[in-house]
């Protein structure tokens, strides 16, 4: 391939979404991915699209997160038709269950604020909740319902994005690690792998929690691994499909399984599972859904989310190297935000106006005075 216009470092969901969006603008794109690293976040993810269910209080990213979710209603059918890959988009809503009066008050407060912003969330009383989720604990007092939230299948989405990107001329090199980027003056001019040096017009760092480990960056990147542990149980036969948040954990139905999670652990790049955390997750899930009490456990795993100090992603150019881009730090919301991140990066890199307010995700927020 001739030198790429844009070289993307990292082929998780974020790199894949950026590759497709950039290739669609006519750019020559090269995506380099180190391959199946233990702990890669996308493969470990629950795949929820939960802009409202996973937010409390006045979140500056809420409207971006809503638009990110809604983008999938158009993108998924288009990708499925183009690639033949089923992405499993499900948008029948997420409930956050209250087990105490204090939980119920907090959730009703969220509903009040979210409805003021125009989002159609609602309170379900105990009977309405049980009609929707018959297997839920009889101790549940009610729930916050975000009726348009949902989930999709991250491995299928990534396959479809890569297939669509390559159909638009992008090249994928898997099993190769970018060791460093080469900066001259205020320009990044190349990246180096064990296979040699690759000149590129622009470079996008999308290497998940490993983004800060790419050599040669002009400044330390505020991205750190945040481990999330998960388990899969058999979903009780006859129980309707659901996504339920409660007690700092969640249960979602996917492919005949109950996917239960998760933890938020700062343990460095250690992607192992621990009995203690898995037991806690299972106890929580069985409290929420007593029907899971006897369900056999099928798998357990962990992934490393790319976290940032303020919980918001880092999307945009380096303050002093304007052709070096960051698309990383998506924390708990990387599946939700992948497609919109691709759109934003494609617009920024090709000098087009961005439709969204991206100041809350600006890379400069960590390095310059406000």
Ligand X SMILES: Cc1cc2nc3c(=O)[nH]c(=O)nc-3n(C[C@H](O)[C@H](O)[C@H](O)COP(=O)(O)OP(=O)(O)OC[C@H]3O[C@@H](n4cnc5c(N)ncnc54)[C@H](O)[C@@H]3O)c2cc1C
Residues in contact with ligand X by CB under 6 A are 9-15, 32-35, 37, 40-42, 44-48, 177-178, 206-208, 210, 214, 228, 230, 261-262, 303, 305-306, 328, 330-336
Kindly list the distances between the CA atom of residue 325 and the CA atoms of 76, 98, 158, 229, 304, in Å, as whole numbers in the listed order: 26, 41, 21, 30, 22
Q: Cβ 102 to ligand X, closest distance in Å?
A: 25
Q: Cβ 11 to ligand X, closest distance in Å?
A: 5
In the complex with ligand X, the residue whose CB is nearer, 100 or 272, is: 272
In the complex with ligand X, the residue whose CB is nearer, 13 or 145, is: 13
Q: Cβ 325 to ligand X, closest distance in Å?
A: 13
Enclosing H/E stretch for 44? helix 41-44
In the complex with ligand X, the residue whose CB is nearer, 10 or 142, is: 10
Q: Are 46 and 301 in contact (CB under 8 A)?
A: no
Structure tokens of 178? 């970018």
In the complex with ligand X, the residue whose CB is nearer, 104 or 330, is: 330
In the complex with ligand X, the residue whose CB is nearer, 324 or 335, is: 335
Angle at 211 between CA 207 and CA 213, to 5 degrees: 125
Q: Cβ 348 to ligand X, closest distance in Å?
A: 17
Enclosing H/E stretch for 60? none
Q: Cβ 50 to ligand X, closest distance in Å?
A: 6
In the complex with ligand X, the residue whose CB is nearer, 88 or 261, is: 261
DSSP string, 11-40: -SHHHHHHHHHHHHTT--EEEEE----TT-
235/225 Cα distance (integer angstroms): 30
Q: Cβ 367 to ligand X, closest distance in Å?
A: 20
Angle at 156 between CA 176 and CA 150, to 5 degrees: 130
Give the CB-side neighbour count of residue 80, counting CA atoms within 13 A. 12
Give the CB-side neighbour count of residue 26, counting CA atoms within 13 A. 1
Q: Cβ 368 to ligand X, closest distance in Å?
A: 24
DSSP string, 140-157: --EEEEETT-EE--HHHH
In the complex with ligand X, the residue whose CB is nearer, 14 or 30, is: 14
């Amino acid at each position: 391939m001739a030198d790429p216009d844009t070289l993307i470092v990292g082929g998780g969901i974020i790199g894949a979404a950026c590759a497709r969006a950039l290739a669609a603008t006519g750019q020559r794109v090269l995506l380099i991915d180190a391959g199946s690293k233990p702990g890669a976040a996308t493969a470990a993810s629950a795949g929820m699209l939960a802009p409202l269910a996973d937010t409390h209080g006045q979140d500056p990213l809420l409207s971006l997160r809503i638009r990110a979710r809604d983008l999938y209603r158009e993108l998924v059918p288009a990708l499925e038709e183009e690639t033949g890959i089923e992405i499993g988009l499900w948008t029948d809503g997420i409930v956050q269950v209250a087990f105490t009066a204090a939980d119920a008050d907090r959730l009703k407060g969220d509903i009040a604020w979210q409805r003021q912003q125009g989002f159609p969330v609602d309170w379900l009383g105990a009977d309405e909740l049980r009609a929707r989720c018959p297997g839920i604990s009889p101790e549940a007092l009610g729930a916050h319902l975000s009726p348009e939230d949902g989930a999709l299948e991250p491995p299928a989405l990534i396959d479809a994005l890569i297939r669509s990107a390559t159909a638009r001329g992008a090249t994928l090199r898997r099993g190769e690690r970018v060791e460093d980027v080469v900066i001259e003056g205020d320009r990044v001019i190349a990246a180096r792998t064990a296979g040699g040096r690759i000149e590129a017009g622009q470079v996008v760092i999308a290497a998940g929690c490993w983004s800060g480990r790419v050599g040669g960056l002009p400044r330390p990147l505020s991205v750190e691994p945040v481990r999330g542990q998960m388990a899969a149980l058999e979903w009780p036969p006859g129980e309707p499909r659901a996504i339920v948040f409660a007690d700092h954990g969640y249960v979602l139905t996917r492919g005949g399984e109950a996917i239960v999670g998760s933890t938020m652990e700062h343990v460095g790049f250690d992607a192992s599972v621990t009995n203690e955390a898995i037991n806690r997750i299972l106890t929580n899930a069985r409290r929420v859904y007593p029907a899971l009490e006897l369900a056999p456990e099928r798998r357990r795993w962990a992934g490393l989310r790319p976290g940032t100090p303020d919980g918001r992603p880092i999307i945009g150019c380096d303050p002093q190297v304007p052709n070096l881009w960051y698309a990383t730090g998506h924390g708990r919301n990387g599946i939700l935000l992948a497609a919109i991140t691709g759109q934003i990066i494609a617009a920024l890199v090709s000098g087009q106006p961005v439709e969204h307010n991206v100041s809350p995700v600006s890379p400069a927020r960590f390095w310059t005075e406000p």
